[in-house]
Structures are given as C-alpha cells and as structure tokens.
Copies of this chain bind each other. A is one copy, B any other.
Amino acid sequence: MVISEQLELSTKGDADIHDITGEVGRLVQGSGVRDGVVTIFTPSATSALTTIEYERGALADLRRLFNEIVDPAREYQHNLRWHDGNGHSHVRAALLGPSLSVPFVGGQLTLGTWQQIVFVDFDNRPRQRRLVVQIVGE
C-alpha cells in the first residue's frame, strides 16, 4: 500500500530549520497505513532533511558546523558561473541529503523522545517549499 502526500512550508532560507514531526505524524496516522516506512523527500538541490533535538542550542550548534565547513563568505565555482550566490547552499544540501526514512508501527512514528524530524532550508533567500511524504506499508 502506497500513499503519496505533500507538505508545504514557507522558509526564510539561510539554514532555516523547521520541525515537521507533527505534520508527518498526522499524515501517517491519516493514511490508514498501520506499519511501514515514511520517506520524506525534498525535491530541491538547496535543502535537506535529518533529525535533531529541536531546541535552539542544538540548532545553533548545527548551523555553526555548516558555517565553518561550508562558509558562505568564500568563493564558490557555482556562484562564479551562475551568480545566484547560493553555492554554499548546494554543497550543504548534498552533504546532509534530500531524503529521510522513518519507520512507523501501529500508526506511530518510531522517533525517540527528544528527536524531531527537521527540514533545513540552506538556500540564501525565502522559499515556498513542497516536500514529498511517501508512505509505504500495510
């Protein structure tokens, strides 16, 4: 059984991190699928998905890592060619990855107590995003 859903959100860009756990959980529960895996996918080359404890300390620490290893103030070949200034966004998104797979059992996501599903928009400007939420199970 496969249920295809979508999730829309407005982001501010610049490593804007959104907690989408509630929305994903509601889509799984509403699907009527009891057991399976939900794949959350961003159809974009400048944003990514992962899990983290959604508290502002950990979020700031994650942003610092990306600022250090993929510094937006440096020169990027992407920017030299396309002049859109988001070369660092592409590198960060490729590193973190566009896809997250979360098992669910009895209609409940199997997340830890302090673990949230987050969408990270690395682009350098506000965006309207539409994520794919694919529910596969029985």
Residues of A at the B interface (CB closer than 8 Å) are: 1-2, 4, 35-37, 39, 41-45, 50-53, 55-58, 60-62, 65, 68-70, 76-82, 87-88, 90-91, 93-103, 105, 110-112, 114-116, 118, 132, 134, 136-138
Instruction: List the B residue with the shortest CB-CB distance to A138.
Output: B2
CB < 8 Å neighbour of A132 from B43, B78, B88, B103: B103
Could you say how many copies of this chain the assembly holds?
Answer: 3
Instruction: List the B residue with the shortest CB-CB distance to A113.
Output: B43
- Chain B residues in 8 Å Cβ range of A88: 61
Known: A39-B103, A52-B90. A57 touches B80 (CB 8 A): yes
**Smallest CB–CB gap between A33 and chain B, Å?**
9
B134 contacts A115, C-beta separation under 8 Å = no
- Chain B residues in 8 Å Cβ range of A111: 43
A91 contacts B136, C-beta separation under 8 Å = no
- Chain B residues in 8 Å Cβ range of A110: 41, 43, 132, 134
CB < 8 Å neighbour of A134 from B36, B79, B112, B116: B36
**Can you list 24 A-B contacts (CB < 8 A)?**
A36-B136, A37-B39, A39-B103, A41-B101, A41-B110, A43-B110, A43-B112, A45-B112, A45-B114, A51-B94, A55-B81, A57-B76, A57-B78, A57-B80, A57-B82, A58-B87, A60-B78, A61-B77, A62-B91, A62-B94, A65-B91, A65-B95, A110-B134, A136-B137
